[in-house]
Amino acid sequence: MLDFTEASLKKVLTRYNVALEKAMTPEEAAEEIYPKDELIYPIAKAIFEGEEDDVIEGLQAAIDAGKDPIALIDDALMVGMGVVTRLYDEGIIFLPNVMMSADAMLEGIEFCKENSETAPVTKGTVVCHVAEGDVHDIGKNIVTALLRANGYNVVDLGRDVPVDEVLKAVAENNPIMVTGTALMTTTMYAFKEVNDKLLEKGYKIPFACGGGAVNQDFVSQFALGVYGEEAADAPKIADAIIAGTTDVATLRDKFHKH
C-alpha cells in the first residue's frame, strides 16, 4: 500500500489542532482562575468537573456556614460556570464539559431555590424554539444550555413550534431576545413568519437564528434577524443586548461574519 514518509506527509496536510494546542491542561488552567474562598472553591471546582453531588455537598456546607442560598447562585454557581465558559471560549475545554457543568449548575440552582423563600434574579429572559415543522433539536438544546450557563432565564418552547406559540411566549415573558433553530431549508421559512408577526404586534426584539441549512443571507432578509453561526454565539448576542446593543443592524455588524 502507498504511504508517506514523515517529510512528505507534512507537504500534504497539517493538523493545526495538534500544532497549536495549549501547553496547559484544562485542570491546570481552571485551577488558576478558581475563586480562593474556601467555601466557594469546592463548589466552583465541582461545577467545572460536572459533579452534581459534590456541588450540592459544597452548597450545603456553605449554607451551614451562614451563606445565603440565593446569593450562592451568583457568588458560587455562576462563578464556577464562569470558569467553564471562559475556558470554553479560550478553546481549552470542549462542549461536553460545558454541558455536564451546566447540568450540575442547574441542579445547584434548584437546590438553592429549595433552600430559600426568595427567587433568584437572572440576567434576562430568552425565548428559544425550533422552527415549525422541524424536529431537529440538538442545536437548540446546546443553545439553551449555553444561555443558562451564562445566567439567562430560558423559556424553552421545544421543537416544531407553531409561530403563534412563539408570539404568545414573547407576550408572556418579555424576553430580551428570541432564538430560532432549523435544520431544513423548507422549515426555516417559518422564521420569516415569526419575524413578520413580531413586527406586526410591535415587538422589535432581536431574533437570533441558526442551524443546519440556515445561513446569514437568509436571516438578513428579515428585519429582526441576527445570524448566529455557532451555538456559542447565542449568549454573546444576549450579552451584547443587555449591555445596550439592541439595534439589529449593530448586532449584525458585530456577529455576522460573512
Is position 184 an interface residue for another protein (rule: CB under 8 A)? yes
Our finding on whether 164 is near another protein (CB under 8 A) is: no
Task: Report the Cα 119 to chain-centroid distance in Å.
Answer: 22
Contact positions with another protein (CB under 8 A) in 66-95:
88, 91, 93-95
Contact code string over 129-158 relative to another protein, x by CB under 8 A: ----xxx-xx--xx--x------------x
- Give the residue with the Cβ less far from another protein, 37 or 54: 54
Helix locations, the chain, DSSP H: 6-10, 16-19, 26-33, 40-49, 52-64, 69-72, 78-89, 95-114, 138-149, 163-173, 190-200, 216-219, 233-242, 248-255
* 65 touches another protein (CB under 8 A): no
Angle of CA points 46, 137, 154, to nearest 5° = 55
Q: Which amino acid is at 6?
A: E
Nearer to another protein, 181 or 187 (CB): 187
Place of cell 461545577: 47
Can you give the binding site for another protein, defined by CB under 8 A? 1-4, 6, 9, 12-13, 15-18, 20-21, 25, 88, 91, 93-97, 99-100, 103, 133-135, 137-138, 141-142, 145, 158-161, 184-189, 213, 218
